[in-house]
Amino acid sequence: MRSITVSYESCRTQVRIGAGLLDQAGRLLAEVIPPGLRDVLVVSDETVAGLYSQRLLAGLTAAGLRGELAVVPPGDASKSLTRAAELYDRLAAGRFARDALVLALGGGMVSDLAGFVAATWMRGVAFAICSTTLESAVDACLGGKTGVNHASGKNLIGAFHHPALVLVDPASFTTLDDRDMRAGLAESIKHGAIADAAFLTWQREHREAILRRELPFLEELIERNLRIKAGFVTADERETRGPRAMLNFGHTIGHAVEAAMNYRLRHGECVAIGMAAAARISREMGLLSAADAEALIQTLAEFGLPTTLPEGLDPKQIIDATATDKKVAGSRVRYVLLEGWGRAALREGVTSEILHFVLQRPG
Ligand SMILES: NC(=O)c1ccc[n+]([C@@H]2O[C@H](COP(=O)([O-])OP(=O)(O)OC[C@H]3O[C@@H](n4cnc5c(N)ncnc54)[C@H](O)[C@@H]3O)[C@@H](O)[C@H]2O)c1
Ligand SMILES: [Zn+2]
């Protein structure tokens, strides 16, 4: 088992990574929660609950905890105030009090929703995550961002609330869609690109083992990702000081593509398109060599990720949308760009000519 302790100003997140850990969730949870805590509401989606909730609940019972299961439909539409309200009803009906814990079992959708409910029920109860997607295991599980979507946009209602425990059992990734697996790897490539050149190289070298989901490689992949992400989020807990902005590499254009495609593409696929564009912008602005830009784009393609806008999508629509991205300071859009392998910087001054050039004729 691999362990990481992530220390924030006022709390800690314990991370445990290892094949088979799903069965030991109760014991591992009992190690990190206050002694009196007994009541656990497990929140999952129908797909994940069907696959893994029995094992998780059995482990909770074995550890002397009372576990109840609440299930929502799979898909990002469940990240809503309506579903949150249903979960509050469950908490009330089950007499979950101030000393309860909400445990998310699933991917980023489930942990964002369950985390938001944990952050707000009785002004905040304990929270833990058992990640079952790579997207969650390498990214969403850490950093404390929780929330639901609003009709006018994604993730607009939320709170910071850190999990006490993050448990990742990479054996649970065997049932994950190939497409979800690759989408999660986009965030992993992102972490290498912005912070750790050696990690990026390691991912390229072990691509086949990773895509075959060989457990030792997945465990190392997850640990290295979470150590990188922990560095950024502990340096900038509330996203007010700057470092955390680097995690948005590929996301300015990525979010615009995601919305323009009506969320039909995976988030990671859109981020891959955004990272490829950001690499090309970095090249055009003289920050990154053509060879390094090409190497990143090549890496994304080798992992089966898209690197250009989807057929038929007008670059102008994307460029207009980036102007309303939430990372706009004043009237200027700031982009996370690369200054080399493993080195990112926030830059203004990306002209619409450059954007048109890289989005229209990516080469
Ligand atoms: N809070 C953060 O910092 C953060 C960061 C990144 C993404 N997110 C959020 O995470 C969500 C995307 O994450 P995601 O890709 O994990 O989405 P998800 O939770 O919707 O999972 C994707 C799909 O995989 C299925 N699934 C999950 N685990 C499975 C398994 N082991 N086997 C088979 N099927 C499984 C789910 O039922 C779902 O259909 C978005 O809502 C995004 O906004 C949050
Ligand atoms: Zn992302």
Ligand 2 centroid to Cα of residue 269, in Å, is 10
Q: In the prediction, which pLDDT does 208 show?
A: 98
Would you say the CB of residue 115 lies under 6 angstroms from ligand 1?
Answer: no
Ligand 2 centroid to Cα of residue 287, in Å, is 23
Would you say the CB of residue 250 lies under 6 angstroms from ligand 1?
Answer: no
Active-site annotation holds for 266: no
Residues 6+ apart with CB under 8 A from 13: 5, 6, 142, 162, 163, 164, 165, 166
Ligand 2 centroid to Cα of residue 267, in Å, is 6
Q: In the prediction, which pLDDT does 331 show?
A: 57
Give the closest ligand to the alpha carbon of residue 80: 1
Would you say the CB of residue 158 lies under 6 angstroms from ligand 1?
Answer: no
CA-wise closest residue to 163 among 120, 122, 130, 133: 130
Active-site annotation holds for 206: no
Active-site annotation holds for 212: no
Catalytic residue among 83, 190, 229, 266: 229
For the record, the structure tokens of 226 come out as 């979470």
In whole angstroms, give the CA distance from residue 215 to residue 180: 17
Q: In the prediction, which pLDDT does 330 show?
A: 53
Predicted structure pTM score: 0.95
Pocket test for ligand 1, best of 6, 53, 112 (most atoms within 8 A of CB): 112
Give the closest ligand to the alpha carbon of residue 155: 1
Q: Encode the chain (363 residues) as per-residue pLDDT tens digits.
A: 999 999 999 999 999 999 999 999 999 999 999 989 999 999 999 999 999 999 999 999 999 999 999 999 999 999 999 999 999 999 999 999 999 999 999 999 999 999 999 999 999 999 999 999 999 999 999 999 999 999 988 999 999 999 999 999 999 999 999 999 999 999 999 999 999 999 999 999 999 999 999 999 999 999 999 999 999 999 999 999 889 999 999 999 999 999 999 999 999 999 999 999 999 999 999 999 999 999 999 999 999 999 999 999 999 999 998 876 545 555 578 999 999 989 999 999 999 899 999 998 666
Pairing of strands 165-168, 126-131: parallel
Per DSSP, 49 falls in state: I
Ligand 1 atom closest to the Cα of residue 108 is: 10
Q: In the prediction, which pLDDT does 324 show?
A: 65
CB 124 within 8 A of CB 97: no
CB 126 within 8 A of CB 37: yes
Would you say the CB of residue 23 lies under 6 angstroms from ligand 1?
Answer: no
Question: Bridge-partner residues for 168, per DSSP?
Answer: 17, 131
Task: For residue 337, give the 3-state DSSP assignment.
Answer: strand
In whole angstroms, give the CA distance from residue 46 to residue 70: 9
Residues 6+ apart with CB under 8 A from 266: 179, 180, 183
Q: In the prediction, which pLDDT does 153 show?
A: 87
For the record, the structure tokens of 56 come out as 């998780």
Per DSSP, 39 falls in state: E
